[in-house]
Structure 1
């Protein structure tokens, strides 16, 4: 039976925290860029760009995140777009 010391557990937790922080920063930057793009579409003068942005917001606010992930992972390969699980 393998026994782990306190320092082994702490080292692994710190390594995991590093990846969590890096992935969170990437998500914040990506979300900010997409949010700015949607913002500029929402305040545009043309009606069709405002409708596209409103539809995008309504789609993502009106559906649960787990359903969106399932549709992307299982639905997009049916359309020919393969997504790896780690992506």
Structure 2
């Protein structure tokens, strides 16, 4: 395995990711959920399906914050056909 140089690209990317995670951790839940919902929409528009890990027939379409709880809409593709 290649040794990592101090201040190398990988280290800078790790630091940037840590800073992004710290910034996201400060956001309210509703903002995080809205961001995830936007990302889901972008991926869906590119033809990428996000599937349920346990039930591969379910495809995530939306995520919403309702009454302080987070819900996903992931209907089964079998029932949609």
- Whether these two folds match at TM > 0.5 is no
- Report which of the two structures shows the higher radius of gyration computed on alpha carbons: 1
TM-score under structure 1 length normalisation: 0.33
Q: Which has the higher strand share?
A: 2
Q: Which has the higher contact order (CA 8 A, sep 6+)?
A: 2
Q: Which has the higher helix share?
A: 1
